[in-house]
Structure 1
Amino acid sequence: MGEENLRKRKGEDNRKEDGQSIENDELKTMNLQKEVGLISGTCMIVGTIIGSGIFVSPKSVLANVGAVGPCLTIWAACGLLATLGALCFAELGTTIPKSGGEYPYLMEAFGPIPAFLFSWTSLLVTKPSSFAIICLSFAEYAAAPFYPGCDPPLVVIKCLAAAAIVIITVVNSLSVKLGRYLQNFLTAAKMIIVTIIIVSGIVLLAQGKTENFKDSFKDSKISLSSISLAFYNGLWAYDGWNQLNYITEELKNPYRNLPLSIIIGIPLVTVCYVLINVSYFTVMTSTELLQSQAAAVTFGDRVLYPASWIVPLFVAFSTIGSANGTCFTAGSFAVWIFYGLTVFALIVMRFTRRELRRPIRIPIVIPIIVTLVSVLLVLAPIITAPEMAYLYCALFILSGFIFYVLFVHFKFNWAQKISKPITTHLQMLLEVVPAEEVIE
């Protein structure tokens, strides 16, 4: 009887272990719901890219190149670079169909340390700061109609920005579907103001307002440093071109919808950006645009009066839509370090991971071009205008290595005891589960 009871207990223990193993296997293979289709994916790209940049600071590109012709060329070239970069990410996203953007690609190509440094930088600096800046821009434009003739009080701007951050975070935490509907609505709203500006510009051009385009390359300042800095400013307005890869697992039919969303979305944004700049130049000279604090508002005051209040209202929709897209997917110097490293990972895996299935396979020349341009964009500001801020940024990125060694490599027990239950409860509260458990 003793041996029989012992066998029963062993059998029960084995069943418990098997049950636990099954639960762990279910956790390891759990996937996010696929609820994002082609239209929503395209809206995500357009909605995330088009934010405050094209409405507020086109003068930054103009200030570096000095003339209308090079300015429009830079805007088109930035769109081309964003498209090439996004195509690289499309291959990565369909080869390694995991959410998380750059993280899984860096993990597969280079191992855990570069992937951890990316997460360290993204979660603590680039994403929060970009999100905060966009929400502050929204608050300024949302408050502007209520304070005609003067700047809104700083406390009002901060309160509106904080409210926007809370609302967007809550909406995207509660439901992927709700966040998608909000994004689609805000994208439609911002496309209204984009259409108004573009159509107004075309009408003015048809009426003969072309004097600002004569000798459009005259007095231009063309040099390697000026072009690089102009690209930096233009690409800020295009930032978000890679954001769909953060939700690859939530895409319906990603092998089809990921590249199609990119091919449709980014060229659409590029055309809009070029035409918006053309519209600006129909009513403003280069000097006037450089003196304008917000080109879109100046355009509205001159063309849409007395309905010029429409511009700040819809620009507010545009900026909050960009913030929502940034929050839903999670957006300088640090960003392009990891953009370049991620695209370089594609090149590396072409030789080190030949066995991987690649539903999308782009010509190798494309990632080579994007990698070289990324290196140029990282080095250009350091060479042309060296500042201590770049050193601080590099030191902060490298400081993440210390935390990796302490908390990931050596896995201090006390750190695990604190962080693991916190992580588990947050996953349960927000209904998010990792697609797989990675054990170092």
Structure 2
Amino acid sequence: MGYISDNTVSSAVKRETVGMKKNLGLVSAVSFAVNAIIGSGIFFSPTGVLFETGSVGLSLLVWVLAGLLALIGSMCYCELGCLIPKSGSEYPYLLAGLGKIIAFLFAWTQSIVLTPTLIAVSILIFAEYTVILFDFCGTSQTLIKIIAVLIMIALAIINCWDTKHSAGLQVCSSAVKLVVLGVIIVGGFVLLGQGETATMQKGFSGNTNSASSIALAFYNATWAYGGWNRINCVTEELKNPKRNLPRASILGVIIAIIVYFLANISYLTVLGIEGVMQSRVVAFTWGETVLGPGGMLMTIAVLLSILGTANADLFGGSRILYAAAREHQFPEVLSYVSCKRCTPIPCIIFTTLLTVLLTVLGDIRSLINFFSFTAWLFHGLTVFALLVLRFTMKDTYRPIKIFILFPLIFIVCSMYLVVAPIIQNPTVEFLYAFLFMSGGLVFYVPFVHYHADQGFFKHVTRFVQCLMEVVPSPYKHAD
């Protein structure tokens, strides 16, 4: 949509030399994966999982099974990422396996709503608890939104300035996050060692007999594992991606499974079944119970953890938009990279503006159902694309090739997570999701398929290039 030569910015800049830097080593990549997965879910979701399952044993089993599903998905995405080493996560895989229309609908849904919604939820939660923690003039919604917008602007600046700074924030946030959860885990096991075993001895007593309740518990747990696919968004910025992508992705999920399982044991040991069920935020309640006044430090650390998750969502989500624009399915200027910073400034700013808009408009938590439905729909389609590519690219070398049973299991589970909530609890959010995805075709046909209104996009591209000093970044095959 409107290509402008590099000479528009500077005749000295060579197109072949401009691109996003490979600043993510194995440690940074694992930190990115851990941050993307371990967000607010482990601090909020245990209450919902335990409430729906009704027993200690079943709730812990749900946490493990949800983690194994994420691990299978991660393994499938590793094969795809090594086969097609491009940034953008699902987008390049859907494009290669299922075609332009499905890939566009994914990029349309992910970039316009899902990524901004995920980030907005995180920064609003951060702002709400910041106001409560420091008692800033009550809990005014206006103040909460102002703080959230300021946090969003700060994250955008960090990501536009240099990927090293964003990676550094990921490493620091991951460290804080794991220290917090380490304190929770150690505290719980100290009490277990002192004989506080009554709750854990209840095992599967009190199990629910409702398949619907188990499904709802599974939704809460899978929400907490969300982000297991984010490392595939930044494949081109990984050092030695064919080695570091599978290592970081799989290791990140395994760390999350272990941490989630042990943290839930601690929550149950310290608070008991009733305490967990009645807690609004179990990590805060745990901190108040075990640490007393020192629980404030736990609150601050949890806030830093949530901030890291928002940063990971911005970092990874903007790359999906970048990848789609590079394939001419969005205005091409969104795929341009700063000739000074080597960061995709246009797509970062675009994502930031959408996030700020959603944050200012009001309560966006009703979009969580929308997110879950569409996310699992595209997860399933992406793994189905893996099966298609086994035939269409059968002669292409694959550094990783997983056993065929794993993608089949993942597709069946994805179908269940898409269909079950519609059957069990049909709500208007699912209708909105369908209408929004279908509405993407209204833009696809004239602007992508028929390339309408090229003159307008050329003027916009030229303006953005001059304003932001950005140039095209042609794709180079990852090392």
What is the aligned counterpart of 2:450 among 410, 414, 427?
410
Partner of 2:368: none
Write the distance in 2 (CA, Å) between the matches of 1:211 and 1:380. 35
SS of the counterpart of 1:138? helix
Supply the distance in 1 between the matched residues of 2:76 and 2:459 (Cα, whole angstroms): 37
Match of 1:216 in 2: 203
- 8 Å CA contact retained: 2:15, 2:471: no
Query: 2:194 matched to which residue of 1?
Result: 207
Separation in structure 2 between the aligned mates of residue 427 and residue 46 of structure 1, nearest angstrom: 35
CA contact (8 A) 1:76 1:270 kept: yes
Query: How far does the alpha carbon of each residue in 1:114-150 deviate from its partner, in whole angstroms, 9 at most, with x for none?
Result: 01000110011110011000111111222332129x9
What's 1:90 paired with?
A: 78
How many pairs align?
413
Equivalent residue number for residue 117 of structure 1? 105
How far off is 1:70 after superposition?
A: 0.8
Question: Residue in 1 aligned with 2:339?
Answer: none
Are residue 306 (structure 1) and residue 344 (structure 2) matched? no
Give the secondary-structure state (helix, strand or coil) at the position aligned to 1:332.
helix
Check the 8 A contact 2:45/2:221 in 1, yes or no: no
Residue 396 of structure 1: how far off its partner (Å): 0.8
Structure-1 residue corresponding to 2:474 = 435
Whether 1:153 and 2:140 are equivalent positions in the alignment is: yes
Query: 1:147-296 residue pairs with structure 2 within 5 A?
Result: 147=135, 152-296=139-283
Provide closer, same or farther for how the CA distance between residues 151 and 341 of structure 1 changes in structure 2, counting only shifts above 3 A. farther
* Among 451, 457, 460, the residue aligned to 1:422: 460
How many angstroms does 1:352 deviate by?
A: 1.8
Q: 1:333: which partner in 2?
A: 373
- Is the Cα contact below 8 Å between 1:141 and 1:315 reproduced in 2? no
Distance 1:374 1:432 in 2: 39
Could you say if the C-alpha distance between residues 267 and 430 of structure 1 is closer, same or farther in structure 2, counting changes exceeding 3 Å? farther
- Partner in structure 2 of residue 342 of structure 1: 382
Residue 105 of structure 1 and its aligned partner are, at CA, apart by 0.6
More moved, 336-345 vs 387-396: 387-396
Residues 132 and 147 (structure 1), Cα distance of their counterparts in 2 relative to 1, 3 Å cut: same
State whether structure 2 residue 57 is matched by structure 1 residue 69. yes
Per-residue deviation at 1:39?
A: 0.5
Partner SS, residue 221 of structure 1:
coil
Name the counterpart of 2:414: 374
| TM-score of the pair, normalised by structure 2 | 0.82
Mapped contact 2:374–2:433 kept (Cα < 8 A)? yes
The Cα of 1:419 is off from its aligned counterpart by 2.7
Given that residues 18 and 471 in structure 2 are in contact (C-alpha distance below 8 angstroms), is that contact kept between their aligned partners in structure 1? Answer: no
Q: Counterpart amino acid of 1:249?
A: E
Give, in whole Å, the separation in 1 of the partners of 2:429 and 2:228.
26
Question: What amino acid is the match of 2:244?
Answer: N
- Alignment of 1:130 onto 2:169: no
- Name the structure 2 match of 1:107: 95
Instruction: Point out the more displaced range, 89-98 or 416-425.
Output: 416-425
- The runs of 5 or more residues in structure 2 that have no matched partner are 318-370
Measured in 2, the distance between the counterparts of 1:282 and 1:373 equals 31
Cα RMSD of the aligned pairs, angstroms, is 2.3
Q: Is contact 1:44–1:244 with CA below 8 Å preserved after alignment? A: yes
Q: Report the Cα distance in structure 1 between the residues aligned to 2:75 and 2:470, rounded to whole angstroms.
A: 31
SS in 1 for 2:199: helix
Instruction: Measure how far apart 1:160 and its partner are.
Output: 1.5
Contact 2:39 2:306 in 1 (8 A): yes
Task: State the identity %.
Answer: 42
Unaligned runs of 5+ in 1: 1-16
CA distance in 2, matches of 1:312, 1:424: 46
- C-alpha separation between the residues in 1 aligned to 2:471 and 2:212? 44
Q: Return the letter of the residue paired with 2:277.
A: L
Letter in 1 for 2:33: I
In the alignment, what sits opposite 1:6? none
CA distance in 2, matches of 1:217, 1:302: 25
- Pick closer, same or farther for the CA change 1:336–1:157 going to 2, 3 Å: same
With over 3 angstroms needed to count, the CA separation of the structure-2 counterparts of 1:267 and 1:225, relative to structure 1, is: same
Q: Deviation per CA, 1:132-185, whole angstroms, max 9, x where unpaired?
A: 00111111222332129x963322221211111111111101111111111111
Deviation string 1:49-74 (CA, Å, 9 cap, x unpaired) is 11111112311111221111111111
Counterpart-to-counterpart distance in 2, 1:327 and 1:349: 29
Q: What amino acid is aligned across from residue 245 of structure 1 in structure 2? A: N
- Tell me by how many angstroms 1:223 deviates: 3.9
Rounded to whole Å, the distance in 2 between the matches of 1:28 and 1:113 is 29
8 Å Cα contact 2:88/2:233 also seen in 1: yes
Once residues 304 and 91 of structure 2 are traced to their aligned partners in structure 1, the CA distance between those partners, rounded to angstroms, is 30
Select 2:400's aligned residue among 360, 363, 380: 360
Residues 1:389 and 2:376 are matched in the alignment: no
Distance (whole Å) between structure 2 residues aligned to residue 153 and residue 55 of structure 1 = 23
Is residue 141–residue 313 contact of structure 1 (8 Å, CA) maintained in 2? no
- What's the offset of the Cα at 1:357? 2.1
Q: Distance in 1 between matches of 2:56 and 2:175?
A: 29
Contact 1:382–1:390, Cα closer than 8 Å, also in 2: yes
3-state DSSP of counterpart to 2:23: coil
Q: How many Å apart are 1:436 and its aligned residue? A: 4.1
